[in-house]
Every structure is written in structure tokens, then in C-alpha cells.
């Protein structure tokens, strides 16, 4: 998932604002006791998400894919007073842990955390979003995008994670074109060709595609 020299990456992290203490602990505890810890956004990407949120000062945020709550807490750093962060995850086994982190952060009342299928839940959300973060199953990335684009205000931002897919978007880094890789490539193309947004793909960690609705 890392696309630059390891020493350069370490240098970049050394010159990035540190994680707040709770996020540092979530990072550590996720790596110690939760399956697939690479799914966590981590220090540098987390600080980037927090900075996007602080610049946008969103009233309504949607996150698709909560995992252990790290990225949700980063995104919530820029949330306006009285605003809401909606986050959806299908893994009920992590619910108690995640709700505990949200409560510890003092954000239990500001975060609407739903367990279930995002494909079913998103259409029920009656909100206009300033910021959307997509970090869930890759097969449905394009569908998630279709479900949220009309719920995003003009000037609002959609961010999608893992859009370089460990480099497998390039033929030289894959053995075969599997379904997930094809889904990511199709999603990247879809957003790039969508006249409703302007977009930039950032080679941060596993790739972030940032689309601003025009």
C-alpha cells in the first residue's frame, strides 16, 4: 500500500501533525487485536482527512465503512457545532468497541452510527452532505457514488479510499484482473468522466480520489 520510499514516508510522517492521543491508541489497539488492521486510515491519511474536514467545516458528513472508528473521528474534527456525522458499517462485531471510542471522544451525540447494508441505508438518509468518505467494499464503489452524488451540495466533496488498490490498477502490478481491481478501475474512470465534478487522485497511502461537486 506504500508507494514511496519507506524512509521518505517516515520523513513525511515526522513532518505531519501528530495523531491525537485517542487516535494513537485506536491505531495501536486495532493493530494489536482487530483483523485486517491495514484497513485503518492511519496517521498521515487521517491527518489529511481531518484537514479536509476543517477546511470544509461540514454540517453533515457521511462515511461509508466505519471499521474501528479512526477515520470517523478524523472527519469529525471539522464538524460544525450541531452537525452530524453519519457512519455506516456492516460488521456488528466491532460495534461495542467503536461506540466506546465515540463516547470517549465526547461525540456519541454527534455521530449517527448505523450497522447494516449501506446500499439500503443511504437512500433513507434525509440530509444534504458537505463531505462524503467512501471506504467500504470495492465492488459497490460506483453504486455508492451514484447513491450519494445527488445528496451532496454544490461545492461538497466526495473522497474515496483505496483507489490505487495496492498498485493493481496498473497491469504490471497484478497477476490477473480480479473483480475488485476491475471495480476500482471502473470507479476511477466513472468519476473522472463525470462532468458534475472536478477530481484529483492523490497517491497517498493506497490512493485517495477527491471529487468536488461543481
pLDDT digits (tens, 9 = 90+) for 174-199: 989 999 999 999 999 999 999 999 99
Q: What is the pLDDT of residue 3?
A: 66
Q: What is the mean pLDDT of residues 147-174?
A: 96
Q: What is the pLDDT of residue 210?
A: 98
Q: What is the pTM of this model?
A: 0.96
pLDDT-derived band of residue 5, with 50, 70 and 90 as boundaries?
A: confident
In angstroms, the CA 89 to CA 62 distance is 12
- Is the pLDDT at 2 greater than 70, yes or no? no
Measured CA to CA in angstroms, residue 5 lies from 1, 10, 40 at distances of 12, 9, 21
> Which range, of 14-18, 36-40, 91-95, averages the lowest pLDDT?
36-40
In angstroms, the CA 207 to CA 204 distance is 5
Dump pLDDT digits (tens) for 55-72. 999 999 999 999 999 999
Mean pLDDT of the chain: 96
Dump pLDDT digits (tens) for 65-96. 999 999 999 999 999 999 999 999 999 999 99
Look up residue 29 and give its three cell numbers: 489497539
Dump pLDDT digits (tens) for 133-159. 999 999 999 999 999 999 999 999 999
Report whether 112 contacts 87 (CB < 8 A). yes
Q: Can you tell me which residue has the cell 474512470? A: 189
Say which CATH class 6-213 falls into. alpha beta
Contacts of 86 (CB under 8 A, 6+ apart): 60, 61, 62, 63, 111, 112, 114, 125, 127
Q: What is the pLDDT of residue 4?
A: 76
Q: Which residues are registered as beta bridge partners of 84?
A: 60
Q: What is the pLDDT of residue 77?
A: 98
Q: Where are the domains of the chain?
A: 6-213
Amino acid at each position: 500500500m506504500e508507494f514511496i520510499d519507506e524512509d521518505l514516508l517516515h520523513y513525511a510522517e515526522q513532518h505531519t501533525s501528530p495523531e491525537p492521543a485517542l487516535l494513537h491508541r485506536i491505531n495501536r489497539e486495532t493493530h494489536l487485536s482487530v483483523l485486517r488492521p491495514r484497513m485503518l486510515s492511519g496517521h498521515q491519511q487521517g491527518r489529511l482527512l481531518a484537514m479536509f474536514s476543517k477546511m470544509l467545516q461540514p454540517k453533515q458528513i457521511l462515511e461509508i465503512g466505519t471499521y474501528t472508528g479512526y477515520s470517523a473521528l478524523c472527519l469529525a474534527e471539522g464538524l460544525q457545532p450541531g452537525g452530524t456525522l453519519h457512519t455506516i458499517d456492516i460488521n456488528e462485531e466491532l460495534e461495542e468497541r467503536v461506540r466506546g471510542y465515540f463516547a470517549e471522544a465526547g461525540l456519541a451525540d454527534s455521530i449517527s452510527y448505523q450497522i447494516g447494508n449501506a446500499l439500503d441505508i443511504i437512500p433513507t438518509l434525509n440530509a444534504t452532505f458537505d463531505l462524503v468518505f467512501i471506504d467500504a467494499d470495492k465492488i459497490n464503489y460506483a453504486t455508492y457514488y451514484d447513491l450519494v452524488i445527488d445528496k451532496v451540495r454544490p461545492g461538497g466533496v466526495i473522497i474515496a479510499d483505496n483507489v490505487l488498490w495496492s498498485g493493481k490498477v496498473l497491469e504490471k502490478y497484478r497477476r490477473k484482473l480480479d473483480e475488485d481491481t476491475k471495480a476500482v478501475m471502473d470507479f476511477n474512470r466513472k468519476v473522472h468522466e463525470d462532468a458534475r465534478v472536478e477530481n484529483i487522485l492523490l497517491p497517498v497511502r493506497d490512493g485517495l480520489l477527491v471529487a468536488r461537486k461543481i
